[in-house]
Structure 1
């Protein structure tokens, strides 16, 4: 009898636990190419997502769950969603219906708790009719950039959407201040006659780390600048820093700690670092990046030099760490930590539009100096016709390879070179 009572209590407890799963929040973020719905959960749930037509709808079924949240309202001009409805199903389950304005391709996944949120179910909605239009727009922009023969600077504001980044004592969120600095930098870049800015993130939404690199590549970027605000457990830490990729280990313990926290953003945002969908990206990221290291170090040095004129720098030398977002094999890339948002004085500065402009100006000066020592890439037909190149003062072999859109290894092979040493006046062969 005692065993039967224990068994019955066990069943009862399990049933109560199963029925106690709740959707305690429902948020959404709108990006240019998709809309993200985030269901905050009291515990993990089994779910199913499917589409219905005439009119277009997306159905999200959650097993053993109840809705205990506020349904968000969508503006009438939202491009994807009309409204969201919810109701119980089969007494124990929950059905959420998303009334759509257009057919979508949906992707769903669950996330484990982190410092900011508990369990979550994420549903991304990609409009089917906009996918081709978006690709065409990117292609058209790339062609336009090439025709105008301008340097393209990809400006990446860190974090966004579900991933707020670091937070200051006054509640200042990293994702907001770095976007403000990024937009100011983009304005300065577009004021240059030989440059064009490309904002990787233009609003409050999340983009995976690998996708940020891919966006820059599709925009034919010649430089990638990622902007962040630092944070540390010691509130006295202050100053700005500039990082380049290290494939051989971080230059300091602080750099190692920072890279680990920034790379974890891919898990916060919902893109697993070992996702099978990222197989192609993984192959690209594993390619040798030697031909961009030299260029990245040069622009980083110029930016750091100008940041010293704005205020305190945390490290007087360019730092190296394994940031995922810097791993583009064909685009010189730097990451700028503008200040410590965990420092009360620097948090106040980051909130100031005037100081944000100072930071943007400092980065701009460094970028401008870097490009002043580079030569704009020739038109494709001219570049392919040139079979030889005469070394000029200030040239580097990796820089020549980048300008002619060939790999450093193929350039060395074509000239039977064992090292990257070159001399002014030397004539080398350019492989087609």
Structure 2
């Protein structure tokens, strides 16, 4: 460490104290990894995966045995009736949009009960009929129920908000760029019970991004009708180069497929090109890789607390996603942290991130993402909007060792800023 960091002595002391504290938490994460690995391996074995399943299809992609088997495995692993796993899903936002447009019809209402969703969904939802192709453009109404001051769902607010137009209930598992806790699968189960008691026929959708394999169950195991996420996050295991997934009850997965592809074709078409081997292997590795990212997040929380920063979750807190929030309190520390993460990246380490406008976001954002796959959140990255209280968000890490190196390098950059370096 000494030859790599300017402030090695200070940082070494923080790191030693942090690692001593977190040993028990790392063992707990290993137990979750093992249970999830059993579940994934069992699905592979039950499906009888063989070499021929790893080969790609072209053209229309009809009768793609590998794609069919992969989607069956995803459904089993996620406790769902059906799944779509496709390379032409551009992002998590794209997968979510397919679910929303697949289920909702003119006159329906989408009600988010976990506060406002990610900034990137705001343009999908829209605010008026302006020709943009948003939900609003199709006369689909959207509302959200703000969370209580403690970050919990406002049960009474949900009761008041539900009405005869409410067709879909939206739940965002992860915190996004908001200062609230992420929701555990147990908490989502309580939300499902509440919604079923109030509006039994509503479709319960969960944005599952960043949450896959963090716990031993997924939202579809506890009654969610539909979930979606990105393959360049947790379930791709660091090998998926693009794509996304949708899983849930067959009727709603098919509706999403009709929107994603075309009515009549739905899930029957869609070539997999050269992606299948990466998808199968990435899913197999996903429990382990997510575990490495979680270990890194726990270390990050502990060592950043040693350095005097406020973190959420704390190092000893339960976790339901791979995101680590750090409250920096000023823009200089946030920028220095992201630049340190970039400097410790295997790709584009020479680049110096600068805050800049980004599509879908209301404030300038600084992003560090020296990743093998562009924008892959399962690889180590950090970002944050430049707005008070200047909170940074770190996620991912293919190996625990790399996350540690990234955090220590980021602290070195912060100390440089503090010392006027």
Give the TM-score, by structure 1 length: 0.29
Hey, which of these two has a bigger chunk of helix by percent? Answer: 2
Q: Which has the higher contact order (CA 8 A, sep 6+)?
A: 2
Hey, which of these two has a bigger chunk of strand by percent? Answer: 1
